[in-house]
Each structure stands twice: as C-alpha cells, then as structure tokens.
Structure 1
Amino acid sequence: MNSTFDPLVGQVLDGRYEIVAKVARGGMATVYRARDKRLSRVVAVKVMRSDLGEDDEFAAKFDREARSAAVLSHPSVVSIFDQGSSQGKPYIVMEFIEGETLRRVISRDAPLPPDRALELFEQVAAALAAAHEAGVVHRDIKPENVMLTRRGQVKVADFGLARQVGSPQMTATGILVGTASYLPPELVTHARPDGRSDVYSAGVVLFELLTGKKPHTGENNYQIAYRHVNVDIERPSERLAEIGHSADWDIPDYLDTLVLAATRRDPRARIPDGRELLGAVRRARHELARTGGHDNPTLAAALLPESPAEDETEALRPGAERPRPVSAASPPTEVIHRDQWQPARRKPRTAPAPTAQPVSPRPAATALQPRSQRTPVFPHLHISDDPVHRRRRIVALVLLVLLVAGAAGVGSWWWLDGRFTTVPAMSTLNETVAREAASANALKVVRAEAYSETVPAGVVISTDPAAGERLFRGAEVTVVLSKGPERYPMPTVAGLSLDEATTALTDGRLAVGKVTEAFSETVAAGVVLSASQEEGTQLKPGTPVDLSVSKGREPIRVPDHVGGRADKAAKELKELGFEVKVEEENSADMEAGRVIRQDPRDGTAHRGDTVTIVRSLGPVLVTVPDVWMKSTDEATKLLEDLDLKVKLERSSNFPIPLNIANGTDPGAGAEIPVGTTVTLFVA
C-alpha cells in the first residue's frame, strides 16, 4: 500500500516505535511496519483511526484485542508485544509477519488438494484450541485474518472482536458482529458467541480451501446472513462437482463430514471447541496420509456429532421465537458433557404405569390340589400373557441381544483398533502444545533435544515415531525439541604454538583450515600470529579456521658497499631495515667519502641489526716546510720528519758542492699527503 501521503510515516510513537511504511488499512485501524528503536527489531503497529479515537465502544474493542491476544502464547497466534496511546491514538505493537494472507493463497491456488488444505487448516485449529483453552473466543475467523509466513507457518491474527468467555456482549441487537460470509447462524438469531462460533467460521474457511468458493453468497451481508441461518452448507465434494472442477484428487467422505460437523447450523450439534476440532482434523489428516484419500464411512460417522432432539431444535428453526429465560414452570434442559462430540442427551421417557386388572376369586379347592408336572418351579413368579407385557419382553430380549453384540463389537474394536492411537503432527509446535497434543492421543512424551539451523529454539523438530505412526495407547513418543542453531565460540589461538592452537580448535568443535607462514620480528617461529575468525565469534561446528604461523625474524642479505660512496651505502642499508653506524678515518688509498671498510661486509642479518661502515677522510696532509739556506742534512730531516720522501737534486754548476738547500718541489707551504716524494734542491 502506498504510504507517501500518510502523516504517520516517519513519526516515532512514544519515542520508541518509528513508523516506516503503511502495510494495510482496516475498518477501525491501520497497520504499519515499524522499527522498535529500543530492541532494534521490526514490528507491526496497529493504530486506531483518528475518527474513531473518541468512540468508547471502538476503543474498548481495540483495548480488548491487545488483552485477549496477549494472554495467548502459541506458535500459530500473532504475538502482542505492547500497547499504548500516542497523540490521542491508541495503538498495539505486535509481531511483524513477512508473508501473505490465506485469502491470497485461496485466490491464487484454491481449490487446494485435501492434504494441503488440512496442513494449513490444522494450524488454524491449533490456534483456536489454544485460544479456547485460555477462555478467549476470536469471533472473526476468516482468511484475511490468517497469515502464512515465508516458511509456511500459519499465524492467526486480529483479535479485534475477541472477548473473554463470559464477558458481556459488546454489540446491540441486530448488529452483525464479524464478517457475514463466515458468520455463525446463532449470532444472527440470538446467541452469544462461544467456541462453537469460532468452529463454524473455521469450517467455512476449510470449505473455501477445498472448493475455492464461499458456501453462501448474496447481494449484501444480510442476505448472506439469512442463508447461514436457513440453508445448510453443502458438502465440499458436491460443490466441486457443481462448478465442474477437474481436479486430480477426490474429497473423501470423512473430510466432507468434517466440514459439515464444523458448520452445522445448530451449535449443539456442532464440534464444541477448538480442541475437539484439532483432534478431528488430525484424525482426518492421518487417515488421508494412510489411505491416500479413499472413503472411510466409519471415520465419517465418528466425526459427525449426533443431532439434538427435535424439541430441542425448535427454538432455532427459522421464524421461531428467540428463547426466553427459563421460568419456574419450565423444566431445565439437562446437558451431559462428554469428551467426544455429542449433544445434550435426551431425557428417558417414563413408561405409563400398567393398569390394575381385577383379580377373579380362585376356588379354595384349587389351592389344595397337588402340583402337577407343569407346575412352575418358581410358583411366586408370575409371567403375564398380556400382549403389552409380551411386547416388552420381546423388546427386552432384542435389547439384550444388541447389548451382547455391542459388547462383542466393542471388544473386537478395542482389540483391533481401539487400543491403538496415532502420533499427532507436532512439528512447529512448542513443548507445551506438543505435550497437550500427545496427551490428547493418549501418548507419553519423552523429551529430547537437538540443534537445528531452521527450527527456532523450543519448537519441535521431529518425533520418533513420526507423525501418523500407529502405537499402543500409553506408549512413549520421543519429541525432539530444537536447541536452535549449533554454534561454538572461536577460542583464542594467537600466541599459541601450532599444536596448541590445533587442539584448542578441535576441542571447540571447529577445524583447522589453511595454515600459512609469515615472518615476524616480534613473534618466535612456530607461534600463531593470527586467525581468520575473530575471538568469541559464534561459529557452526566444523567451521575451518585459517591460521597464520610465524617463521621468526626475516633474514636479509647484507650488500657489500666497500669502495662505494659512503652516503649512498648508509641510505640503502637503512632502507633494508638495518641500523647504520658510520665511522671516519683517513686513508691514503681511498679518496674521501668512500667506504674503506664495512662490518659485516656480506652474509645475512635481521632488521634492526647494526651494520658499521668506515668512511674515508682521504690521506693525512702536511705542509712542506721552508728549507732555503739550510744544510742538506737538516733540510732532509725536516722533510722526513713529516713522513715525506726526499729526492736530492743538484741545482748549481759550482765546482765545489756547498750542501746548502735552496728549495723544494712542491714548494714551501704546499699541502701534500704524507708519504709524498718531495724533490730537495741543493747547491
């Protein structure tokens, strides 16, 4: 439904329920999809129409819906979470159902095969059984109020007309309460609703599932209601034949009877409540699964309750006066309730007292005569030959024969069938309802638990024996309840050795996945560095967890930079992760700025290790001294003291050597490396 122009969309009710979109609109309220900001979940919020907010009767109905449904806790009933009022508009917060209504299923798929129809209808009956046992009558059972989730689970919703049994009638005389197509005839005529009213409406729904048509139609609600009061609902098989539906299945006689037993116009001849309806549905479903849809007249007869006495139905005939309160002169109707579907028993009629016959005087001599061979053995037992008495004796004899035959039949029934029962369908039920279903079938429950990925916790997964199996009454049936999805927390494995981590995972119902290795500067070799799952994450059993294991510190090759530029060597070593220590010294063989030595010079090391390089400052320089006019020996000594090499060279043609220095090459004051050869000129 388009919610663009709805003023409530986007608002937050009571600071908690954020209205997201409009879902549906009904006669007295609008349903929205909303987000519960406190619990972070999607909910459905039903808000009463603003024009009805001041109507006390509608407000009472609205309040009664929340209170009636809130007392119910059943998988097939939409749960009520909260109620309140915001801006003068009462609202109800309930479970949000993702799915479709049963009306849409009927419109799209009906007529449904009997097994599919009973599968859906059994859950409706289970919801009614829970409601009736809680003392709640729905009063508006119809396909629009039955939801089907995406998982196929049926949810009965909209207890807007529901009331507690025994509460006052909320509507005035002549007002139709509920939907006319599903309205029980007693609500049109005179009676207050009870469990039998819901059974009638449910029976109409079953009729529609099986035929795709409503049993009664008309131009308006009152014509439809008139037909409910005055016209019996026909068998679904007859309706299918009338509409000429070429189905691949037949509706068995007991399924026809189930519909008739639920939709009898006289409520006293109808299935009395949801629990009995649920039992009948399960018997029919079991028989359908067992025989594949063949007729079973015995079961059909057992499903149909007895009709009430003719005088008891007089008040419900069309045109009859509505029953008045019983006066003192009117004897009260005696009703005996039984576990099976039987109406009120008839009162036994009292036979009229026999008329006294005149006794003719017997001659006195007769009494003195001796007994003949025909004299009765019991002389005081008088057997009358009166025709009336003779007929009574015949009737008594017939009754005795019937009683003996009935006892024999009951004995045979008990031995062949009566001592057996069947396992009811308990899947999707919670434990309480499952136990009630087993108890209704005279079975004992043995509780078991198992994990399930699809069935919510606390709901029955399966039974052993399976549904439909035949057992002795009082036998045990194992009910397997879901513990929810099986999950295990991810243990802490970082910092453990690979063996320890493997043990931790397998002990925790998990598995070791792919193991990879990586270098680590801080974690010793063989120790787990990380895992593919975070610690504490809930995982399915057997989930593989990948592990990364340390290989220890990464070895790095040390490059040889001897003879290379010292600044470049230091940069490259630092980029590899080494700590670089630079020392300097003079070298006569290595020019300044180049690497004289490196430690270590080759091999491998680890990040953070120190590599020392010695940078050349070049050779040691000395200044050539001034040796002019010094003796040859003195000049030579001055030069050699400076670690210079001296080469003598005569610079004069004077015939007599004077041994006096007159210069050097390089000249005085020149900066030259130690060890350099200096030419000393002497005269």
Structure 2
Amino acid sequence: MNSTFDPLVGQVLDDRYEIVAKVARGGMATVYRARDLRLARVVAVKVMRSDLGEDDEFAAKFDREARSAAVLSHPNVVSIFDQGSSHGQPYIVMEFIEGLTLRRVISSEAPLAPARALELFEQIAAALAAAHEAGVVHRDIKPENVILTDRGQVKVADFGLARQVGSPQMTATGVLVGTASYLPPELVTHARPDGRSDVYSAGVVLFEMLTGKKPHTGENNYQIAYRHVNVDIEKPSERLRELGKGNERPIPDYLDTLVLAATRRDPRARIADGQELLAAVRKVRGEMARNSSGDNPELAASLLPDSPSEGLTERLRPATRPRPVSGPTPETVIVSRSEWGVADASAQTPIPPPEPVAPRTATSQSPTSQRTPVFPPLHISHDPVHQRRRGVIAVLLVVLLTIGAGFGSWWWMSGRYTTVPAVAGMNETKAREAASANALRVETRDEYSETVPVGVVIDTDPRSGERLVRDSQFTLIMSLGPERYPAPQLVGLTREEAEQAITDGHLSLGEVTEDWSEDQPAGTVLSASEEEGAQLKPDTAIDLTVSKGREPIRIPDLTDATTAAATEELKGLGFEVTVKEENSTTVAKGDVIRQDPADGTAYRGDTVTIVSSLGPVMVTIPGVWGKGTDDARKLLEDLDLKVEIRNDSGFGLPLNLAKSTDPAEGTQVAVGSTVTLIIV
C-alpha cells in the first residue's frame, strides 16, 4: 500500500515508535510497520482511525482487542507488546510478521492436498486451544486473519472481535458480528459466542482449504448467514466431486467427518472447543501419516460428538388400537394423532368406541293398502338404543361432511398449491431435490453471472416463495460463470479486418491511433491494448495502433559543416552515409563541400553521399638560382603557380638571371599560389 501521503508516516508515537510505512487499512484501524527506538526492533503498530477516536464503543472494542490478545502467549498467536494513545488516537504495538495471509495461499494453491491443509490447520487449532484455555473467544476466524510466516509458521492475528467469555456484547441486537462466510449459526440467532463458535469458523476455513470454495455463498451477507442457519455444510469430498476434482485431491472419510464435526449447525453437537479440535486434528494427521489414501470408518465415527438429547422431539409411540367392545358399557379409547398424520405424540384425541348392536326384533306391521307402494315402508324404531345409534351416525355424517367440505375448500384454495423453494446458491442436484420435495418439476436455463460460480443456481423463474399448482414446472437459472470472450488476434490485420474481428468477438473498438512503421504498410494494425487470448467482459473496448507507413525524414543541408559532424547527424536521423573526398581551394580540409541529395526528404535506411574537402593541392617550390628569367618563370608556372618578377640587381646592366624565390626553395605552397621570382 502506498504510504506517500499518509500523515503518520515519519512521526514518532510517544517518543518511541517511529512510523515507517503503511502496511494495511481495515474498517476501524490502519496497520503500520514501525521501529521501536527503545529496543531497536521492527514492530507493527495498529492505530485507530482518527474519525473513530471519539466513539466510546469503538475505543472500548480497540482496548478489548489489546487486553484479550495480551493474555495469550503462544507461538501460533501474534504477540501484543504495548498499548497507548497519541494525539487522541489509541494504538496497539504488536509483533511484525513477514509473510502472507492464508487467503493468498488458498487463492494460489487451493484445493490444498489434505496433508498440507492439516499441517496448517493444526497450528490454527493450537492457537484456538491456547485462546480458549485462557477464556478468550476470537469470533472472527477467517483466512485473512491467519498469517503464514516466511519460515512456514502459522500465526493467528486480529483479535479485533475477540472478547473474554462472560464479557458484555459490544454490538446492538440484530447486528451480525464477524465475517458472513465464516459466521456460526448461533451468532446469527443472537446466541452468545463461545469456543464452539470459533470451532465452526475454523471448520469452514478447513473446508475452503480442501476445496478452494466457501461452503455457502449468496448475493449478500444475509443470504449467506441464512444458509449457515438452515443448510448443513456438505462433505469436502462431495464438493470436489461437484467441481470435477475428486480424483486430484482424494479426501479420506475421517477428514470429511472432522469438517462435519466442526461445522454442525447445532453447537451442542459440535466439537466443544479448541482443545478438543486440536486433539481431533492430531488423530487425523496421525492416521493420514500411516495410511494417506484409505478410509477409516472407525476413526471417522469416533470424531463425531454424541448427539444432544435436550430439546429434541421424542420418537412417536405406535398408536393404540381400539379394543373390541365386550359389553354394553361404553369405553373411551385413546388414539395418538400420529394415526391422523399429526406429528405430535403428546396430543391425544379421545374417540368413543362403537355402540353395541342390539339384536334385531320383529315388530308389528302397519296396515298396507292394496296398491303396491313405490318405496318400501320405513320401520323407524323408537327404542332408546336405536335412537342413540342414529344420533351418533348423524353426528358422524355431519363431521364427515364438514371435514370433506373443509378439505375440499382447503385443497381448492391452498392445498393444491406449493411454493417455489429458495434454491439460489445451490448446485443443480440439490436444487432438484428441493423442487421434488415441494412437488414441483424443473427445467434449466443458463445465464452468465459475475458473482455466482459455474453450476450454481442464480435465481428461479418464478422467484422463490411464489405459489404454484403442485406438479407444475419452474425454471432454474443456472450460472455459466462470468461471461468472458477471448481477445482475437489483431496485430498484422488491416484496420477493417481488425474491427470486424473485434465485433465478431462480442467486444468493442476503442481508440484508434496511428504511428509510423518501417516494416508494416499503412493501414496495418501494429498493436492492441489487450493481449491475444485474454478473457474479456462483453463489449470491452480494445484500443488499436495502426501503421501510417514509413516516416519521411527531412534531409538537412550540411554544406560547410565538418565531415564528422555531418556524418553523425545523418546517421542519427536513420540514414546510411557515404563519404567521398576531393581537393578544394575554397573549402577547408575536413569540411563538407557538397551532399547528394542536397535537400528534400528520404526514409530511414536511405543513403546520403557527402563530399569531404581534402583542402588544396600542394606543390614544392623548386630551385631556380642561375636560370634565365624565362626558364625560371616557366618552371614555376608549370606547377600552376602565379609568378611575379622582382629585379634585385646591384649592377647597372641587368643580367636576367634568377637569384631566388619568395617563398624560398623547398617550401610547400598550394597550387595557384603567387610566388615572387627574384632576378639580377
């Protein structure tokens, strides 16, 4: 994290802790790497955010973290060294750990091999055992709070939610405390946390190490928390089979059972605390060392705590059958409601037994007419027994009619309906089981999702909770995972071809810029902002750089420049340079007489010829003493020298003989130079 503009960097807290750099920032504090000036060691300093310093609840929570962790002294727990306050900001000084979080390990390595996962998890369990023995519950066990040092040692950190058992809650009722993906069910329902809460969170961490996935997911924290309360965590081996990795990391049955024993939803049926968890982990590691691949059902069974009996519904007793009536005295028979489909053995309904049937006796016939009646005559007995029987039958008929009418009304109004189950976050197999349990059939439809993993239900159509007629069909919307398309090969295509490839690939054309290219013709794509094959979201914009062809370069006029400077400048522009030499009486030696081309433009790699001056041609003045004037003049003029005559005779009569030259004999002069011939 960049700490350039952090105001605390460079400061010294309480004349002792020099803040060196920012390491991380959390919801209520920032962690810095600091130097303890008194003990000359590197420490980590956790400073509460300045905007929370006035909040007594946060200050108390911050103070509780220091006090809770300070009572622990264990190699797998980050040590607390000091506590203080500087300029109204409380801070905690703790051990500085060089390493990486378990989250980084899971992200890069998961699913971990069972032996590797247990090696790390045993140290987490050891830290919890020490904390629970000291009466401290962490309450926020998650991979981000577990650090793996450079030496391979595990350290449990961040007791920001920790509290000692029996201390008051620091949050208002109804607030979820902790990280939803690792939250024990009892904390969602507002029970007080204890060692079993940490065991549950640790079991979730072990599940994630073994599978690379969290056991419960959802669109928000409350959906995840709901699943922790209502849905059992599956075996890690089952999740690996769903992910198609069951053969890569085979998980023995006793390791599956360890995860289930730590993550039972009922805390009374869960491993009780860190000490029991550590003992169970060591049993599992010992068995795995002896037999790394085989199952051990006996060990697996021993890892499960005994199921609790408190609060559980008793098994229903078989219903008592009505006894046959042996005499005329009525007897009440008790029949349990289970015979009527009511799952409550404590509620019982008295049902009167059948009335005894009296023997049928002959009665006197009433007079009949000579015409045969349409209906046979009714013989209604007025015997009290018969009257009582008729009353019972009438009541039963009324009851049956009422029940029938009520059942029909219930069936028509609501009984024939069922509800769409809440299956978001489940895999298809479990979603189909839930649909079958609700008397519904399903079909599937695939959609892309940025948040829901592949093969998991995103939503349903109709939505969960809506009523449908039984045996109706609803749609599971299954996740295809994030919608991604590979970036096409674009470099080397023409601009038109590249635009078509981008459109066909469900992507979009971004900014197009042009640049010179020495080897690609104009209109050819030189580069793209996304590498070929990169997985991109739909309509991702891809920027292109397109060739303008070869870059024309202006040729500078370098006449009269030195040959060396001209050559360097032309080569710097990308030209090839050819140098020729000539004598010149007007251009100094080493300077450029002329160039070809003299001006205009050319391309990199083209040749520019420059003519370098060798200076004038030099000749040596010959000796002329004693020669006649004409002969001496001719000798000098034959060397392309100009001759001037000067008479230096001391005699009255000139002799017309050469005496000397100026410059003197043997001197090197340029062709065309003027030489004075002295005669006597």
Interval of TM-score (by shorter of Structure 1 and Structure 2): 0.5 to 0.7
SS in 1 for 2:413: helix
For 1:643, the equivalent position in structure 2 comes to 640
Instruction: For residues 452-497 of structure 1, give each alpha carbon's deviation from its aligned partner in whole angstroms, at most 9, with x where no partner exists.
Output: 1111222221222222223333333222111111111222222222
Tell me, in whole angstroms, the C-alpha distance in 2 between the residues paired with 1:526 and 1:339: 81
Match of 2:640, SS state, is coil
SS in structure 1 opposite 2:471? Answer: coil
Q: Which residue of 1 aligns with 2:32?
A: none
**1:5 corresponding residue in structure 2:** 74
Task: Call closer, same or farther: CA 1:475–1:140 in 2, change over 3 Å.
Answer: closer
2:266 match: 142
- Aligned partner of 2:315 in structure 1 is 267
Deviations 1:535-585 (A, max 9, x none): 222121122222223333333333322112222222333333333322222
Matched, 1:398 2:481: no
The equivalent position to 1:483 in structure 2, one of 480, 485, 489, is 480
How far, CA to CA, are the matches of 2:660 and 2:507 in structure 1?
Answer: 95
* 1:511/1:339 CA distance change after superposition, 3 Å: farther
One-letter amino acid of the counterpart of residue 472, structure 1:
V
Q: Secondary structure at the match of 1:19?
A: helix
Distance 1:637 1:431, change over 3 A: same
Please name the residue that 1:272 is paired with. none
1:25/1:647 CA distance change after superposition, 3 Å: closer
Distance 1:472 1:641 in 2: 129
Q: What amino acid is aligned across from residue 316 of structure 2 in structure 1?
A: R
CA pair 404-267 structure 1, distance change in 2 beyond 3 A: same
Match of 1:598 in 2: 595
Alignment of 1:11-410 (within 5 A): 14=115, 18-19=119-120, 22=124, 25=128, 98-107=181-190, 124-127=229-232, 141-142=265-266, 177-178=306-307, 183-184=309-310, 200=312, 265-268=313-316, 341=343, 351=354, 354=357, 371=368, 385-410=382-407
Preserved CA contact (<8 Å) 1:463 1:480: yes
DSSP-derived class of the 2:449 partner: coil
Q: Cα 1:536–1:4, aligned 2, differ >3 Å: closer, same or farther?
A: farther
CA contact (8 A) 1:17 1:35 kept: no
Residues 1:504 and 1:556: Cα distance change in structure 2 (over 3 Å): same
CA offsets, 1:292-349, max 9 Å, x none? xxxxxxxxxxxxxxxx86899xxxxxxxxxxxxxxxxxxxx99989988576999999
**Structure 1 residue identity aligned to 2:588:** E
Residues 183, 228 of structure 2: 8 Å contact kept: no
2:619 is matched with 622
Per the alignment, residue 581 of structure 1 pairs with 578
Secondary structure of the 1:615 match is strand
Which residue does 1:546 correspond to in 2? 543
Matching residue of 2:446: 449
What's the TM-score once normalised by structure 1's chain length?
Answer: 0.54
- The match for 2:415 among 403, 415, 418 is 418
SS at match of 2:615: coil
Task: Provide the C-alpha distance between the structure 1 equivalents of 2:192 and 2:456, rounded to a whole number of angstroms.
Answer: 29
What amino acid sits opposite 1:19 in the alignment? L
Q: What's the % identity of the aligned pairs?
A: 46
Aligned equivalent of 2:332: none
SS in 1 for 2:609: strand
Query: Retained in 1: the 8 A contact 2:180–2:225?
Result: no
Indicate conservation of the 8 Å contact 2:355/2:389, yes or no. Answer: no
Aligned-partner Cα distance in 1 for 2:658–2:222: 135
Deviation at 1:642, TM superposition (A): 1.4
> Is 1:610 matched up with 2:610?
no
Which structure 1 residue ranges, 5 or more long, are not aligned? 37-41, 45-95, 111-115, 148-157, 160-166, 186-199, 201-264, 270-307, 313-332
Is the 8 Å Cα contact of residues 101 and 144 (structure 1) preserved in structure 2?
no
Contact preservation (8 Å) 1:464, 1:478: yes
In 2, the alpha carbon distance for the partners of 1:371 and 1:453 equals 91
The AA in structure 2 aligned to 1:669 is G
Instruction: Report the residue type matching 2:74 in the other structure.
Output: F
- In structure 2, the residue matched to 1:236 is none
Deviations 1:129-150 (CA, angstroms, capped at 9, x unpaired): 999xxxx998964258899xxx
Cα distance in 2 for partners of 1:546, 1:538 equals 16
2:510, 2:666 → 1: CA distance?
Answer: 80
CA contact (8 A) 1:588 1:619 kept: yes
* CA deviation profile, 1:491-539 (whole Å, cap 9, x unmatched): 2222222222222222212222222333333333332222222222212
Structure 1 residue 632 displacement after superposition: 3.2
Return the alpha-carbon distance in structure 2 between the equivalents of residues 455 and 568 of structure 1.
Answer: 68
Residue in 2 aligned with 1:518? Answer: 515
Q: How far is the alpha carbon of 1:354 from its aligned partner?
A: 4.1
| SS at 1:524 equivalent | coil
Whether 1:533 and 2:530 are equivalent positions in the alignment is: yes
Task: For 2:395 and 2:77, locate their aligned partners in 1 and report how far apart those are by CA, in whole Å.
Answer: 77
Measured in 2, the distance between the counterparts of 1:443 and 1:457 equals 24
Shift, 1:370, TM fit: 8.2
Alignment of 1:451-466 (within 5 A): 451-466=448-463
Look up the SS of the partner of 2:385 in the other structure.
Answer: helix
User: Secondary structure of 2:672's match?
Assistant: coil
Q: Following the alignment from structure 1 to structure 2, what is the Cα–Cα distance between the partners of residues 472 and 637?
A: 134
Counterpart CA distance in 1 for 2:677 and 2:388 is 178
Cα pair 2:447 2:480 within 8 Å, conserved: yes
Contact persistence 1:558–1:604 (CA under 8 A): yes
User: What's the Cα RMSD here?
Assistant: 5.3
Aligned to 1:75: none
Counterpart of 1:267 in 2: which secondary structure? coil
Residues 32/666 of structure 1: CA separation in 2 closer, same or farther (3 Å cut): closer
CA-CA distance at 1:19 after TM superposition: 1.6
CA contact (8 A) 1:19 1:35 kept: no
Paired residue total:
452
Which of 665, 668, 673 in structure 2 is aligned with 1:676? 673
Where does residue 91 of structure 1 map in the other structure?
none
Contact in 1 for aligned 2:632/2:658 (Cα 8 Å): yes
- Cα gap change, 1:170/1:533 in structure 2, threshold over 3 Å: closer, same or farther? closer
Say if 1:103 and 1:144, in contact at 8 Å, map to a contact too: no
Moved more, 519-528 or 17-26: 17-26
SS in structure 2 of the partner of residue 127 of structure 1: coil
The residue that corresponds to 1:471 in the other structure is 468
Say if 2:485 and 2:506, in contact at 8 Å, map to a contact too.
yes
Taking a change above 3 Å as real, the CA distance of residues 565 and 17 of structure 1, as seen in their structure-2 partners, is: farther
Deviation by residue 1:601-644 (Cα, 9 ceiling, x = unmatched): 33333333333222211100011122222233332332222122
Structure 1 residues 619 and 120, CA gap change in structure 2 (3 angstroms):
closer
DSSP-derived class of the 2:232 partner: helix
Q: CA deviation at 1:101?
A: 1.7
Which residue is equivalent to 2:199?
Answer: none
